[in-house]
Each structure stands twice: as structure tokens, then as C-alpha cells.
């Protein structure tokens, strides 16, 4: 009997894991705008140490030995086919949408690695650096720069009144105290008028002048669902552009379409480790559906908020279900290797071991 055709759209944290998990159970095609998988939470380390990115950015082919990779954006879907930007038409029996957040990154791995090199040279060549945005990306970048380049003057401007608004205020306070102790100048409740950046300085909404030889924008990215608004799934999007899913991670009202990761409307913080959990549940359900065992499908239940934000190479601030901690204990869990070894093992690229 012919294998069922599963098309996964989006080769980020969730989509890649589903494709890898199903490659020997179905005829799998992974459609991604880029030719590589990237461990997003390692990206800030790649900016201060470009060689780090050589392990955190790898080609889809490296883990998808029994699947097909199409490196082109999906631009439309019908009830049976996916249309890609390069004109390809891919038939499916089952579809998975995992287009997470949109990011303007190069298509090839080599170009992405060159981008890390360029960011690193930008940091090394600057005396003063402005980071715009105090979410996890801005805070982690400030941590990486201040630990590796303590001589640089780092300023972080955030429009909100506390850092790390995706977790509780205790974590925000601890992160702020840590950054200040490293002489990072944190300005809350202000925005930067980027049009004013000229000759090494810019002006904030409060009229403050900030000296900055270079700047990095860490202000969040739009959901990767804009393209879905013109497809048969447009009625399954909520008012924020998230895809409505049921407890089996199937798109509302669809028997053969799943969605995982940041694109879903599940009420929980958008985190990669949760996208991985969605992927494992959806892969299991797809195998059951293919085997005609729909009634045995697993459900996904959101859990309590957990997050670890690294602060350079040794420390981190972490919110666990009953406590919020900062220092080398949470840093030991995340900051040394940023889960790169663990993620590579999960994708079958390194032998199992008990370390991080």
C-alpha cells in the first residue's frame, strides 16, 4: 500500500520535529522558506561567538534522510494541495501548519552564518551599543554582549514599564537588577525614534539622547499567518491571526489538518519547548490517524508557565511553577550550551548522552 502524503509547512522548532518524527511512517514533505533549521534560542550567542552558530544552524536534509525538502514559501493551500512561491504544487493527505513567527532571514545556511559574522563585527567595532526591546531577545542579547565585551557601553530601551513581560514581575525585577549590576543602562517606558539615529546617537520618546555606534532591534516578530488569510483556512484564524485548534491539535473543523507551535491559539506563553511538545502529540496523532485509530488520539493540555532567560554564559533568570530564581543554578541548566546538544540529539544529529 502507498504511504500517506504528509506535508508540513514551516521548518522551525515544531514543524521540523514533526517531519523528522514521521519520516519513516509516511511520505513526508517539509516546506520551509529557508533550507535550514535554526535553534532560535542559540541565536544571540551566535552574535557574540559566530562559530557557535555552526552547530545551531543545520540543513533540513541533515535530519530528514527519508523525507523531501522544498525550500520555498507556501503561498496558498486547497483542500488537497499546497502551492509554493516557486510554482510547485504538492499534494497531501494530511497537512501540518507550523509557520510560527515570520523572520526575515537568508534562505541559505551559508548566508545565515555570514550574517552572524557581520553582527559580530558590528559589535566588536562599536564602543556603544543600543538594544531596542526588553523582551527575552533584548535581555539575552544585552547579557551576551555585556559578559563577552564588558568594555562596551550597552543601553537597552524598552517601551514597557518592566522587562520580560511574558513572565511574572519577580523575574523582571531580578533581570533588571542583574543588568544594572553589569552597568547596562536600562531605560523603561520609552521608545526610540529610529529615524533619529545618525552620527552615533539617537533620541528617545522622552527626548533623551543616547550615544550608540550601532543598534539591534529586538522588538518581536509578526505571526507567520498573513499568507493563510487568502486560503481555505482563513475562517480558522482568530482575531490575532492564530489558528484555532482542538485538543488533538487539529485545526478547528478539519479532520486532516493539524497546527503546532506559536501559530496556534493555545492559551500559553509561546515557547519552543512547548512547540516541541505539540509536535510530539501531533506526530503521534497523525500516526494513529494513518493507522485508522482515530479514537486513540492523544490530547494536549497546557501546563504552568516555565521560562529560563539566559544572562550571558553562566547565569540565567528562571520562572518555575512555584519559584523564580536567578544566578548560576538556572544558568547551569541553560546558559552554557543553550540546549544545543539536547536539541541536536532530539533531531538525531548527536549520540544520546546525559549532559545538556
Ligand X SMILES: Cc1cc2nc3c(=O)[nH]c(=O)nc-3n(C[C@H](O)[C@H](O)[C@H](O)COP(=O)(O)OP(=O)(O)OC[C@H]3O[C@@H](n4cnc5c(N)ncnc54)[C@H](O)[C@@H]3O)c2cc1C
| Chain residues that interact with ligand X, rule: CB under 6 A | 9-15, 31-34, 40-41, 43-44, 73-74, 98-102, 136-137, 224, 227, 261-263, 270-273, 275
Backbone CA torsion sign across 275, 276, 279, 285: negative
Residue 253 burial class via C-beta count within 10 angstroms: exposed 0-12, middle 13-18, buried 19 and up: exposed
Q: Give the C-alpha separation, 310 to 39, whole Å.
A: 15
Output 200 or 348, the one with its CB closest to ligand X. 348
Output 98 or 145, the one with its CB closest to ligand X. 98
Q: Give the C-alpha separation, 239 to 232, whole Å.
A: 16
Output 94 or 204, the one with its CB closest to ligand X. 94
Output 176 or 275, the one with its CB closest to ligand X. 275
Output 12 or 312, the one with its CB closest to ligand X. 12
Q: Are strands 185-188 and 74-77 parallel, antiparallel or unpaired?
A: unpaired
Q: Quickly list H helices, 199-327.
A: 272-290
Output 152 or 224, the one with its CB closest to ligand X. 224
For residue 73, give the DSSP letter: -
Q: Give the C-alpha separation, 247 to 238, whole Å.
A: 16
Place of cell 518555575: 320
* Smallest distance from ligand X to CB 261, Å: 2
Output 14 or 134, the one with its CB closest to ligand X. 14
* Smallest distance from ligand X to CB 338, Å: 7
Output 100 or 331, the one with its CB closest to ligand X. 100
Q: Are 263 and 243 in contact (CB under 8 A)?
A: yes
**Which residue has its beta carbon closest to ligand X?**
12
Output 100 or 134, the one with its CB closest to ligand X. 100
Place of cell 503546532: 260
* Smallest distance from ligand X to CB 356, Å: 13
* Smallest distance from ligand X to CB 203, Å: 27
* Smallest distance from ligand X to CB 81, Å: 14
Q: Give the C-alpha separation, 238 to 291, whole Å.
A: 31
* Smallest distance from ligand X to CB 311, Å: 12
* Smallest distance from ligand X to CB 159, Å: 18
Please name every residue paired with 69 in a beta bridge, in sequence order, or none if there are none.
30
* Smallest distance from ligand X to CB 234, Å: 14
Cβ-count burial 274-295 (b if 16+ within 10 Å, e if not): bbbbbbbbbbbbbbbbbeeeee
Task: Output the nine-digit C-alpha cell for 89.
Answer: 504544487
Q: Are strands 201-204 and 209-211 parallel, antiparallel or unpaired?
A: antiparallel
Q: How far from 132 is each of 52, 111, 173, 250, 275, CA to CA, in Å?
A: 24, 24, 18, 37, 26
At residue 134's C-alpha, the angle toward residues 132 and 135, to 5°, is 120
Dihedral angle at the C-alpha atoms of 276, 278, 283, 289, nearest 10 degrees?
180
* Smallest distance from ligand X to CB 302, Å: 14
Amino acid at each position: 500500500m502507498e504511504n500517506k502524503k504528509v506535508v508540513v509547512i514551516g521548518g522551525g522548532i515544531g514543524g521540523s520535529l514533526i517531519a523528522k518524527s514521521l519520516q519513516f511512517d509516511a511520505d513526508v514533505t517539509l516546506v520551509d522558506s529557508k533550507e535550514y533549521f535554526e535553534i532560535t534560542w542559540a541565536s544571540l550567542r551566535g552574535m557574540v561567538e559566530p562559530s557557535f552558530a555552526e552547530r545551531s544552524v543545520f540543513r533540513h536534509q541533515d535530519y530528514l534522510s527519508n523525507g523531501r525538502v522544498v525550500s520555498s514559501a507556501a503561498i496558498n493551500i486547497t483542500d488537497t494541495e499546497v502551492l509554493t512561491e516557486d510554482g510547485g504544487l504538492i499534494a497531501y493527505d494530511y497537512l501540518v501548519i507550523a509557520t510560527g513567527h515570520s523572520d526575515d532571514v537568508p534562505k541559505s545556511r551559508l548566508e545565515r552564518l555570514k550574517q552572524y559574522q557581520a553582527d559580530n563585527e558590528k559589535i566588536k567595532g562599536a564602543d556603544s551599543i543600543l538594544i531596542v526591546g526588553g523582551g527575552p531577545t533584548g535581555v539575552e542579547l544585552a547579557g551576551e554582549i555585556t559578559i563577552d565585551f564588558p568594555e562596551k557601553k550597552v543601553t537597552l530601551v524598552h517601551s514597557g514599564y518592566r522587562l520580560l513581560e511574558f513572565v511574572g514581575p519577580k523575574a523582571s525585577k531580578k533581570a533588571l537588577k542583574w543588568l544594572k549590576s553589569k552597568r547596562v543602562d536600562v531605560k523603561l517606558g520609552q521608545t526610540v525614534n529610529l529615524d533619529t539615529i545618525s552620527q552615533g546617537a539617537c533620541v528617545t520618546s522622552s527626548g533623551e539622547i543616547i550615544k550608540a555606534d550601532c543598534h539591534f532591534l529586538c522588538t518581536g516578530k509578526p505571526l507567520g499567518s498573513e499568507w493563510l488569510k487568502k486560503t481555505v483556512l482563513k475562517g480558522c484564524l482568530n482575531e490575532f491571526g492564530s489558528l484555532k485548534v482542538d485538543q488533538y491539535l487539529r485545526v478547528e473543523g478539519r479532520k486532516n489538518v493539524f497546527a503546532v507551535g506559536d501559530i496556534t491559539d493555545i492559551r500559553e506563553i509561546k515557547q519552543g519547548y512547548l512547540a516541541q511538545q505539540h509536535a510530539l502529540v501531533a506526530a503521534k496523532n497523525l500516526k494513529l490517524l494513518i493507522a485508522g485509530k482515530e479514537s486513540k488520539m492523544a490530547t494536549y493540555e497546557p501546563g504552568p508557565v516555565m521560562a529560563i532567560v539566559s544572562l550571558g554564559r553562566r547565569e540565567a533568570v528562571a520562572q518555575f511553577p512555584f519559584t523564580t530564581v536567578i544566578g548560576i543554578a538556572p544558568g547551569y541548566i541553560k546558559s552554557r550550551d543553550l540546549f544545543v546538544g539536547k536539541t541536536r540529539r532530539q533531531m538525531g544529529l548527536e549520540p544520546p548522552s546525559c549532559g545538556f
